[in-house]
Structure 1
Amino acid sequence: MDRVPVNDTIIYALARLVDDAQKDRRDPSHSDIEFQFKRAGLTHVDPNKDGSPVGKAKRLRTVLSWAIENDIAKAETLSVGIISAVKGCGGFRNTSPNFVGVDAAADLSGALHAEGIVLGEDGSISLVALENLSGRNLTQALRGYVNRAKKGIEDAALAVGTSKDLVEAVAAHVIRELWGSYPSTANFPSLLGQAFVALEMATPEQESVQGEHQRCRLERSLYETACAVNNLRNKQGTGHGRPWVPDLRAGEAKAAVEFIGVISELMLDNLERKKP
């Protein structure tokens, strides 16, 4: 993996990995951290660039906090770089003088798992295998992708590790949770339509009736939007490389990912409303 999700909880967990203020010095060093800043293209917000000494933990928090608000992709690149640097120094090995500690490793593991990432005991990182999850655990993992999609992060368009895009994975999960099984051979519009019906959401197949709630018009529009976005997918791949048709402009791709996130989130919210 070349990027991992970032939120405030993950930022503070990462900062604990490099914090040696209360202990004997341990690697990664300041220069190691600076190398990761350069690699992520974030040296311009490094508080040490002007010569004022700042501790490693505060230095990393400052840069990641700026990046999460201004350039989330760079924040995700820096985060995976920091984990790799800590791993390379033996930070996840309890016999190493650079061991970060059981609590610090566990805190980061928990924060990443909530975003669909598994942190191994050796510091390796991998995606949660969605196929091995069900029920609330799968809902939580899908929400990790939803949160990234809402920020326009392109690889969140696919439920990585499956051949489905995020909306399709959510639709299958909804049908399985509410109806017990789902038609694995159904095409995208049919699968999404069944999920909408299971969630009591309106689809274009259901004609509007006098007196219906105004949300029905929104739900029909979201269904059409999801189908339109699905048609922009590059059907030749299964998640490797850019998931969109070649001539889609960057702004259009970002909007498409954000639509995916919004629609998926609403479906998961409605699922939890029906199955609290």
Structure 2
Amino acid sequence: MPVPVSDEIAGALGAFFHGGTGPSHSTITGVLLRSGYSEGDGYVAGRMDNPNKEQRVQSAVRRAIRRPDRARDLTEGMLTQLRLHGCFQAESMYVAQVATLRSALRRSGFSTSEDGTLLTLGAIDLQTGNRGALDEQIDRLRRSTDDPAQLIGSAKDLLEAVAKFVLEELSFPVSQSADFGQLWYLARERLGVRPEDVIASQTGSDQVRKILGASWTIAEQVNSLRNLMGTGHGRTLPTALSAEAALLVVREACSLAQFVLDTLDRQLGR
């Protein structure tokens, strides 16, 4: 699993505190305590030879590199405080630092949304049965506007994970070799949300059939777009796809994932 810490990220986060700028020493202390990286900090309030804020942040990230079990907590904690400090606002004095941080995070498989929320990019480890991880990823993708090409890859991974989750929850055995299309067909079949599952005599059945058919088209085309970009690349949009259209695709994929999970909950009485 990738972790959002590296020497480059240490330097990028530290830059927000250069020359005494950024959140306070007490704020940094709080983040270190909550994330479990206060040991080795070396800062004692009132002492004359304390490390400065930039040094403290960089040192904490480097400790997280050596002991990455709670590295995400540390980086997310720092981002929360930077967000509260106004660092991610469009006209803040930290525009250059934000751009540098996003570049550093991307090289470790992460980025941030416009408001400074940490995002996992590329292949996502959403273990079957972990509904919380699925809900979290839907929320992150919906709020993100950064790097739409990479987000399409994340949307494809999300949809595949949702299909696997549905089949696992319904105790339906799936071959390890099942591909994206097979997983989604089986998930829709088990949930009864294929166009052919709609009762023809019901009012609005034609329209509902078309909507359910369109939902499958969304999933299918997200997978196709991901394949066009190349596995693991996720950086270059197909030439016919604008950044705005890519974000539309991502958000439609999130709505589809949510619909499927909500349908599962209803059928299981949750």
Query: Take 2:100 and 2:239, find their aligned partners in 1: how far apart are those partners?
Result: 25
C-alpha deviation, 1:212, in angstroms: 5.4
| The one of 127, 135, 140 aligned to 1:143 | 135
Tell whether 2:217 aligns with 1:224.
yes
Which residue in the other structure is 1:198 paired with?
190
Preserved CA contact (<8 Å) 1:3 1:77: no
| The one of 53, 69, 85 aligned to 1:29 | 53
| 1:224-249 alpha-carbon deviations (Å, 9 max, x no partner) | 22223322223563333327535422
CA distance 1:189–1:139, change in 2 (3 Å): same
C-alpha deviation, 1:263, in angstroms: 1.0
Query: Take 2:164 and 2:259, find their aligned partners in 1: how far apart are those partners?
Result: 15
TM-score (norm 1): 0.51
C-alpha deviation, 1:77, in angstroms: 4.5
Query: Take 1:146 and 1:14, find their aligned partners in 2: how far apart are those partners?
Result: 30
What is the DSSP-based 3-state SS (H/G/I as helix, E as strand, rest coil) of the residue aligned with 1:268?
Answer: helix
What is the aligned-residue identity percentage? 25
| 1:174-202 alpha-carbon deviations (Å, 9 max, x no partner) | 1122133224434433321221222232x
What is the DSSP-based 3-state SS (H/G/I as helix, E as strand, rest coil) of the residue aligned with 1:233?
Answer: helix
Tell whether 2:170 aligns with 1:178.
yes
| The one of 44, 49, 62 aligned to 2:85 | 62
| The one of 142, 148, 152 aligned to 1:157 | 152
Tell whether 2:223 aligns with 1:209.
no
Amino acid at match of 1:233: R
CA distance 1:245–1:185, change in 2 (3 Å): farther
Query: Take 1:170 and 1:234, find their aligned partners in 2: how far apart are those partners?
Result: 19
Query: Take 1:116 and 1:180, find their aligned partners in 2: how far apart are those partners?
Result: 31
Preserved CA contact (<8 Å) 2:160 2:180: yes
Higher-helix-fraction structure? 2
Query: Take 1:255 and 1:206, find their aligned partners in 2: how far apart are those partners?
Result: 27
Amino acid at match of 1:167: L
| C-alpha RMSD of matched pairs (Å) | 4.6
Which residue in the other structure is 2:255 paired with?
262
Preserved CA contact (<8 Å) 1:15 1:61: no
Larger deviation, residues 177-186 vs 256-265: 177-186
What is the DSSP-based 3-state SS (H/G/I as helix, E as strand, rest coil) of the residue aligned with 1:234?
Answer: helix
Give the number of equivalent residue pairs: 190
Amino acid at match of 2:31: L
What is the DSSP-based 3-state SS (H/G/I as helix, E as strand, rest coil) of the residue aligned with 1:63?
Answer: coil
Amino acid at match of 2:251: E
C-alpha deviation, 1:147, in angstroms: 1.2
Unaligned runs of 5+ in 1: 5-12, 34-56, 85-114, 118-126
Preserved CA contact (<8 Å) 1:146 1:156: no
Unaligned runs of 5+ in 2: 6-26, 34-43, 58-79, 109-117
Preserved CA contact (<8 Å) 1:167 1:260: yes
Amino acid at match of 1:269: D
CA distance 1:15–1:235, change in 2 (3 Å): farther
| The one of 221, 226, 250 aligned to 1:233 | 226
CA distance 1:236–1:180, change in 2 (3 Å): same
| 1:2-51 alpha-carbon deviations (Å, 9 max, x no partner) | 969xxxxxxxx9894279xxx71776616988xxxxxxxxxxxxxxxxxx
CA distance 1:28–1:143, change in 2 (3 Å): farther
Tell whether 2:242 aligns with 1:249.
yes
CA distance 1:230–1:58, change in 2 (3 Å): closer
Query: Take 2:250 and 2:29, find their aligned partners in 1: how far apart are those partners?
Result: 29
CA distance 1:61–1:235, change in 2 (3 Å): same
CA distance 1:14–1:29, change in 2 (3 Å): closer
C-alpha deviation, 1:65, in angstroms: 7.0
Amino acid at match of 1:254: L
Preserved CA contact (<8 Å) 2:152 2:234: no
